[in-house]
Amino acid sequence: MCGIIGILGEGDVVHQLYEGLLSLQHRGQDAAGIITYDEMFHLKKGMGLVSQVFEEKNLRRLRGNIGIGHVRYPTIGPGDNEDAQPFFVNAPYGIAMAHNGNVTNYFSLRRKLAEKSFRQLNSYSDVEAILNVFADTIDQNKKFTFPLMVEGIKEVFKKVEGSYSCIGVIADKGLFAFRDPKGIKPLCFGKRGRAFIFASESAALDLLGYKLIRDVKPGEVIFIDKDRKIFSQEILKGEVMPCIFEYVYFARPDSIIDGIGVYEVRLRLGEYLGKECQKAGLKPDVVLPVPDTARAAATTVAKVLGCELREGLIKNRYIHRTFIMPRQKMREISVRQKLNPIRSEIKRKKVLLVDDSIVRGTTSKEIIKILKRCQPKEVYLAITCPPLRYPCVYGIDMMTRGEFIARRYSVEGIREMIGADKLIYQTYEGLVAAVRGEEKERKFCTACFSGEYPTRVKKEDFAIMERERCGWRNKWR
């Protein structure tokens, strides 16, 4: 999971890119980067949060009315400085690119680029592979045209497997964006006056005062030339299957993804979860959300159950998101640093805690420990999504089977492991219905719950991803 943004503005765009990345910081905390263009590319990227990577002196030298930005956390590669995005190639024309997603055939693609195209990749960032496939295809000493760009994107769709939403700049030509044929990762398009923007989430557009035009369609490329003329083509008409976990956890609640409001989804998730709690006979004294992603769902859980909703855990907002931290011990310590209880809302009460998901069980176990030190009568835990059991190969940091507590334990076993008095999961049917809302025919990528992957994933690629991921994680530890 990463966050991307691209702007063709009416003056220097670096400060807009910087502010936009701040609004997308929740999508990646390991690295950040911005590249702009005037008569040459100006690049700054590095490890850390947006506010840590950029200083005023960096921003001053990033000149140009066109540019792209990126926030990252690693899924492929060791996550070193070399893997930070954006990337650029000098030929043809000069092309810069950033992406959100995960290339499932990355290692075989990397090998083929070296053997057949003599292109040497200098990182383990999969966008460098996408960029080189694109550049290699249009490197024909031809005059740049939109149809030539389309040929390059066609080759990407042909050779690159997995999920990818990409934004790029072609030097002295314009800004472009494209989305994989299944539309797994979000990407939206907006306008403000004569300026244009692409971003992972519509919340970035709201912050910067841009009007949301629409989402980039699956299999579509949109190009805006330097004269502000818009070109677009659906190269492969794919069936949109956005990642359902975006609505559960990753996306900001104030974002709209593929026409579906994230906040409204989370309210509906609470309605369905509340009914499951009723079926289980839960009668809590109080409902407490785990801040922040579960807050909307907890509101409607409490409404369904007819009990009070209170704030029982206060969040330290200067601690990173624990789900996307690479080390187990770091996650455990971070939970204790991040959340502090309000004892008066917990002591001698039956507490129903609402959270969005359980992956490894680390976070849930630590939170329940925190609550039980406050002497509640009982602590129940309700989860807004079903058990996570299958690796995500599309860019969420769940790429190995061993990470899922639900693969090793039953619901009762998980309850015992984390120390809850009762554990209630959302049903798979409830999850899909809540995200669909009124759009009954919509489909989503639910691979992490169902094991059904919307794209082809070869067994050998799957095995390589798991092996490499485990190896890199051991190095991080």
188/161 Cα distance (integer angstroms): 21
pTM: 0.92
Q: Is 2 designated active site?
A: yes
pLDDT by residue (tens digit) across 266-309?
A: 999 999 999 999 999 999 999 999 998 999 999 999 999 999 99
* pLDDT at res. 160: 96
149/98 Cα distance (integer angstroms): 17
Please compute the mean of the pLDDT values over residues 238-267 and round it to a whole number: 95
447/238 Cα distance (integer angstroms): 18
Q: Which regions of 312-434 does DSSP assign to beta strands (E)?
A: 313-315, 339-341, 350-355, 378-383, 422-425
- H or E, element range at 256: strand 256-257
Domains of the chain (ranges, CATH numbers) = 2-241 (3.60.20.10), 260-453 (3.40.50.2020)
Tell how far CA 60 is from the center of its chain: 29
pLDDT by residue (tens digit) across 97-143?
A: 999 999 999 999 999 999 888 888 889 999 999 999 999 999 877 88
pLDDT by residue (tens digit) across 36-84?
A: 999 999 999 999 999 999 999 999 999 999 999 999 987 655 667 889 9
Do 333 and 302 touch, CB atoms closer than 8 A?
no
Please compute the mean of the pLDDT values over residues 16-37 and round it to a whole number: 97
168/184 Cα distance (integer angstroms): 18
* pLDDT at res. 476: 40
* pLDDT at res. 76: 59
Do 244 and 444 touch, CB atoms closer than 8 A?
yes
Alpha helices in 306-350 (DSSP H): 328-338
Among residues of the chain, what percentage have pLDDT more than 70? 92
Mean pLDDT over the full length of the chain: 91
Please compute the mean of the pLDDT values over residues 170-198 and round it to a whole number: 97
Point out the catalytic residue in the list 2, 188, 243, 385: 2
Residue 401: band (very low, low, confident or very high) from pLDDT cuts 50, 70, 90: low
